[in-house]
Amino acid sequence: MHTETITGLTAKVLDIPHVLAADQFGEIVRGSGVVPSEFSYRKDEEIYGEGEPSEYLYQTIGGAVRTYKLLSDGRRQIGAFHLPGDVFGLDPGLEHRLTAEAIVDTTVRLVPRRSLEKAAASNAQVARNLWTLTASDLRHAEDHMLLLGRKTAIERVATFLLEMDRRLAKTGMMALPMCRRDIGDYLGLTLETVSRALSQLNDQGILMFSSARQIALRNRQRLTAMEA
């Protein structure tokens, strides 16, 4: 049964504050009467490209996804990381505005947009959930503009750590799926600057590495004070 899986995810989604108060994807899927498919992507595989027709709405089940834009010379800005439970791919135009790639081997659930549009036309709750999902993305983007435009390197990294801690820390320890370059491209920094900031926080005892990507926050209060 799907319900079991969906219910399992609901608890997870509730942990993600930027997805408001409910399992939007589950509600949308149930409201539209469509059975979602599952699909898997290998590490670094493209899920969809910027400019391609937007045909599906996705939910990450396992793994992690980055969505990004490129400048002509290759400079990259990652707009968001999509962790288990997160919904992505909802570009309510005809085309995707960012490229989506699997950061590690990733499984997603997906439903055709066409059936969502159809359901939204007659089911106000589905329409509202779709709107709320877009609004969540907007909220994140607004916060991220403040970070990119006005925060210093150490403040950006502090904000990033708190965001990831909130979203994927289970046992006080977080396992980052992305490399330093991805973090840099998310924060508008170089990978070296990210590395230096993390080392500095380690030296100050604010975090502890068990490996480069296994990080435990040891003092969230000081980190919160640093994010400005």
| Residues near a second copy (CB under 8 A) | 20, 69, 71-73, 75-77, 79, 91-93, 97-98, 120-122, 124, 127-128, 130-132, 134-135, 137-139, 141-146, 148-151, 185, 187-188, 228
* Per-residue tokens: 93: 């135009």
Q: How far is CA 101 from CA 12, 47, 159, 225, in A?
A: 22, 5, 23, 33
Query: Residue 119 in contact with residue 32, Cβ under 8 Å?
Result: yes
In this complex, which beta carbon is closest to a second copy, that of residue 6 or of residue 82? Answer: 82
Pair of tokens at residue 132: 């709320």
Distance CA 108, CA 59 (A): 5
Closest CA to 178 of 93, 87, 63, 92: 63
The one of a second copy, DNA, none whose footprint includes residue 135, by CB under 5 to 8 A per kind, is: a second copy
Shorter beta-carbon distance to DNA: residue 20 or 153: 153
Kindly list the distances between the CA atom of residue 146 and the CA atoms of 47, 118, 149, 150, in Å, as whole numbers in the listed order: 28, 36, 5, 6
Stretches 45-53, 138-146, 148-156, 219-227: which one binds DNA (CB under 7 A)?
148-156
Near DNA in 17-76, by CB under 7 A = none
* Of the candidate residues 7, 122, 199, 224, the single one contacting DNA (CB under 7 A): 199
DSSP letter assigned to residue 207? E
- 195 interacts with, out of a second copy, DNA, none, CB within 5 to 8 A per kind: DNA
Exactly one of 11, 124, 175, 212 binds DNA (CB under 7 A); that residue is 212
Q: How far is CA 25 from the centre of its chain?
A: 14
CB of 42 or CB of 75, closer to a second copy: 75
211 binding DNA? (CB under 7 A): yes
According to the binding rule CB under 7 A, does residue 204 interact with DNA? no
